[in-house]
Amino acid sequence: MALTIGYARMTMGSLFEKGLLFGLYLATFVHALRWLIFNDEGWKMRKLNPIMLIATFLVLASTLVSFVGDMVMTFLALHIADTRFSHTGVSLMFCVLGRGTIFIVIDAVLIYRCWVILFKKWYIICLPVALWITCLINCVIANYCYWRAVFLNIQKPFPKFCNQPAMALIFFSTNVAIGVYTTSAIIYQILVSTKYSKDKRRLYNICRILTESGILYTISGTIYLITVMKVANLRSVDTTLVAYSVAQSLTLPLVLYLPGIAFNLITIRTGQQRASSVDPWTPSLDTTSNTSELPNYSSPAVIHKEVYVEHARTDAEEILDIGKMDIDKTDSEKTDVGRTDSEKTDVGRTDSERTDVENRDPGEIDVEQQ
């Protein structure tokens, strides 16, 4: 009974914090939705990006499920004297499902952005994909453990893999690794591409936005990860469980809402920047713009390439696809290398035209070439 009241008071304090952060998240969600659905100026509908819309609404649904679950658990702890695990188990299970889904969805979007920006090369995202699968498996196992305890009414003995601190340690370790890897790769590619851009200031602003949002997203998992590591060092099992509950109440509000807020801020800030300035890479849609020739090679047989830096935005304008395409000259251009002006003029003539040219006087041919 005393443990129940203590848990209820502790949960009420964290619930107030969650309410404030949840309100902030809803504000950023509505604002981000405006940039996803409407054009930069006015309220005209734009072409929708289904991937970003689905991801945004999945994060919203998961946040709502987790928030409602927290309120239900608090209500049960306050109004039910003999609180058992089965009373709050369903709510707790949905909370765990919601929290895990938030990170799974946002990590998937980060990996997708990294894959798009880094030329859609699969080997680059092999590591984050493997980490993402680890997070997914960990989330499934955690929900199975709660489902086993609630619906099968089997509380003891728990399987060895149903170790809540250990599962949290694995989950948030892989989550932090995914965030650091993908954000660093995206920022590095944008910085490399600044030397091909005429408007370096805007690209630096994009890097700053991604860095700030990435730090905000990663710091939530890092705080919770450090807390779990400190609690896991306790030797007493009972003390570990109590300390883990206290740590959850203090850090879970940050873990739950900061990722969604950071996710929405990227859409909001890039949309605001796009609307407040002239779009510098609209001319880049032309195949002749934003080109720079590579340094000359010593060998005359090497065909010089032109590097085109294309700044192509996604439909949602939330990321930049900064690609670099090496375009070789056509076969006809390669064939022209080393030809004289008269030989180049002769290319494309029919046999009858060539015969007619051979019968002409040299003076007439020179006049025609001029």
| 110 CB burial (10 A radius; 0-12, 13-18, 19+) | buried
pLDDT value of residue 243? 55
Say whether pLDDT at 361 is over 80: no
> Using 50, 70 and 90 to split pLDDT, how confident is the model at 130?
very high
pLDDT value of residue 58? 93
Give me the long-range contacts of 116-124 (CB less than 8 A, separation at least 24).
116/314, 116/319, 116/321, 117/185, 117/186, 117/189, 117/190, 117/319, 117/320, 117/321, 117/322, 118/185, 118/186, 118/189, 119/323, 119/324, 124/185
pLDDT value of residue 249? 67
What is the rounded end-to-end Cα distance, in angstroms, of the chain? 103
- 304 or 251, higher pLDDT: 251
Query: What is the C-alpha to C-alpha distance for residues 145 and 155, in angstroms, rounded to an integer?
Result: 9
CATH value at residue 112: 1.20.1070.10
Residue 60 lies in a domain: yes
pLDDT value of residue 233? 61
Q: State the CB neighbour count (10 A cutoff) for residue 23.
A: 10
Query: What is the C-alpha to C-alpha distance for residues 75 and 88, in angstroms, rounded to an integer?
Result: 10
Q: 363: left (phi > 0), else alpha (psi -120 to 50), else beta?
A: alpha
User: For residue 9, what are the domain limits?
Assistant: 1-277
Q: What is the DSSP string of 47-114?
A: ---HHHHHHHHHHHHHHHHHHHHHHHHHHHHHH-SS--HHHHHHHHHHHHHHHHHHHHHHHHHHHHHH
Say whether pLDDT at 85 is over 90: no
- 194 or 130, higher pLDDT: 130
Preceding omega of 295 cis (within 30 degrees of 0): no
Residue 359 lies in a domain: no
Q: Are strands 306-313 and 320-327 parallel, antiparallel or unpaired?
A: antiparallel
Average confidence (pLDDT) over 79-97: 63
pLDDT value of residue 68? 85
Residue 245 lies in a domain: yes
Q: What are phi and psi of 298, to 5 degrees?
A: -70, -30
Tokens 């990722």 locate to 259
pLDDT value of residue 163? 76
- 40 or 171, higher pLDDT: 171
Say whether pLDDT at 267 is over 70: yes
Query: What is the C-alpha to C-alpha distance for residues 254 and 22, in angstroms, rounded to an integer?
Result: 10
Residue 62 lies in a domain: yes
Query: What is the C-alpha to C-alpha distance for residues 154 and 85, in angstroms, rounded to an integer?
Result: 11
Query: What is the C-alpha to C-alpha distance for residues 100 and 50, in angstroms, rounded to an integer?
Result: 22
Say whether pLDDT at 330 is over 50: no
Query: What is the C-alpha to C-alpha distance for residues 241 and 67, in angstroms, rounded to an integer?
Result: 22
Residue 309 lies in a domain: no
pLDDT value of residue 349? 54
Average confidence (pLDDT) over 28-51: 83
Angle at which helices 164-193 and 85-117 pack, to 10 degrees? Answer: 20
DSSP label at 324? E
Nearest to 260 by CA among 210, 220, 304: 220
Query: What is the C-alpha to C-alpha distance for residues 128 and 25, in angstroms, rounded to an integer?
Result: 26
Average confidence (pLDDT) over 219-243: 65
Provide the number of structural domains found in the chain.
1
pLDDT value of residue 127? 93
DSSP label at 321? E
Residue 128 lies in a domain: yes
> Using 50, 70 and 90 to split pLDDT, how confident is the model at 19?
confident
pLDDT value of residue 26? 93
C-alpha 207, offset from chain centre: 13
Do you know the residue count of the chain? 370
Residue 183 lies in a domain: yes
pLDDT value of residue 7? 55
Q: Quick one: what percent of the chain has pLDDT higher than 70?
A: 56
Cβ neighbours for 258, distance < 8 A, ≥ 6 positions apart: 21, 216, 217, 219, 220
Q: How confident is the prediction for the chain on average, in pLDDT?
A: 69
- 91 or 143, higher pLDDT: 143
Residue 170 lies in a domain: yes
Q: What are phi and psi of 365, to 5 degrees?
A: -65, -40
Give me the long-range contacts of 227-231 (CB less than 8 A, separation at least 24).
227/251, 228/165, 228/168, 228/169, 228/172, 229/169, 231/165
pLDDT value of residue 234? 54
Q: State the CB neighbour count (10 A cutoff) for residue 331.
A: 8
> Using 50, 70 and 90 to split pLDDT, how confident is the model at 218?
confident
In tens, the pLDDT along 285-313 reads 333 333 333 333 333 333 333 333 333 33
Q: Quick one: what percent of the chain has pLDDT higher than 90?
A: 11
Tokens 């450090």 locate to 226
In tens, the pLDDT along 46-66 reads 788 888 889 999 999 999 988
Say whether pLDDT at 154 is over 60: no
Task: Find the range with the poorest average confidence among 78-87, 165-174, 205-214, 263-272.
Answer: 78-87
